[in-house]
Amino acid sequence: MRPAWALLGLCCLIWRVTGGPSGDFCSQIHNSGVKPGFPKTIKTNDPGVLRAARHTVERFNNCSNDIFLFKESHVNSAMVQIVKGLKYMLDLEIGRTMCKKTRHPSLDKCDFQTNHTLKQTFGCYSEVWVIPWLHEIDVPVLHCH
C-alpha cells in the first residue's frame, strides 16, 4: 500500500506541474470551497470504482501474454478526481482465474485459480479516466508487480 500511495503522490505532483494551469491552479483552490480537480478518497465499493477496477483488469488482460484471464480480487483504496470527466486512481489486487483467454468468457463467471502452481496475484496501481458524455474510458496508467 505504501509504494502505491507514494506513487500516487508523485503522479499528482507531476500532474500539477505539467497539466495544471500553474498560477491559476493555486488561486482556484484558494478562492473556491469546492476545490475542483482535487483528488479525493472514495469508498472502495462505489459502483464507479468497481467499474474502474473491471476496466483495469480488461486492460491488463489485453496487454498480458498469460493464457488465463485475470480478475480484480480486492480494491485496497481509491481516489477520484474531476478532470474532464472522472479520473479514478486505484490501488487494487488482481488474481489469475481458471478462464482461458482464448475462450473470451465473461469475467463474472471466472473463478480464481485453486491450483497452487497456477495461483498468481499482483498488486496494481491504475488510473482510469471516464468521460461519460463521450462514452470514453481509458486506462492511461497501469503498474502491476
Ligand X SMILES: *[C@@H]1O[C@H](CO)[C@@H](O)[C@H](O)[C@H]1NC(C)=O
Q: Are 128 and 87 in contact (CB under 8 A)?
A: yes
For the CB of residue 55, give the shortest distance to ligand X in the complex, in Å. Answer: 5
Q: Which of 19-27, 52-60, 73-81, 93-101 is the region at the interface with ligand X (rule: CB under 6 A)?
A: 52-60
Q: Which of 15-23, 35-43, 44-52, 57-65 is the region at the interface with ligand X (rule: CB under 6 A)?
A: 57-65
55 binds ligand X (CB under 6 A): yes
For the CB of residue 117, give the shortest distance to ligand X in the complex, in Å. Answer: 4
Q: Which of 14-22, 72-80, 84-92, 113-121 is the region at the interface with ligand X (rule: CB under 6 A)?
A: 113-121
CA dihedral 29, 32, 36, 37 (to 10 degrees): 0
Judged by CB under 6 A, the number of residues near ligand X is 8
Q: Please give the DSSP secondary-structure letter assigned to residue 35.
A: -
Instruction: Provide CB contacts within 8 A for 78, sequence distance 6+.
Output: 41, 42, 43, 44, 46, 49, 52, 88, 89, 90, 91
Distance of CA 16 to the CA centre of its chain: 19
Rounded to whole angstroms, the Cα distance separating 117 from 125 reads 25
Instruction: Work out whether the CA dihedral 123, 59, 98, 48 comes out positive or negative.
Output: positive
The footprint of ligand X on residues 58-87 (CB under 6 A) is 58-59, 62
For the CB of residue 72, give the shortest distance to ligand X in the complex, in Å. Answer: 13
Rounded to whole angstroms, the Cα distance separating 137 from 129 reads 6
Binding mask 82-111 for ligand X (x = CB under 6 A): ------------------------------
For the CB of residue 95, give the shortest distance to ligand X in the complex, in Å. Answer: 15
- Which residue ranges make up the site for ligand X (CB under 6 A)? 55, 58-59, 62, 115, 117-118, 139
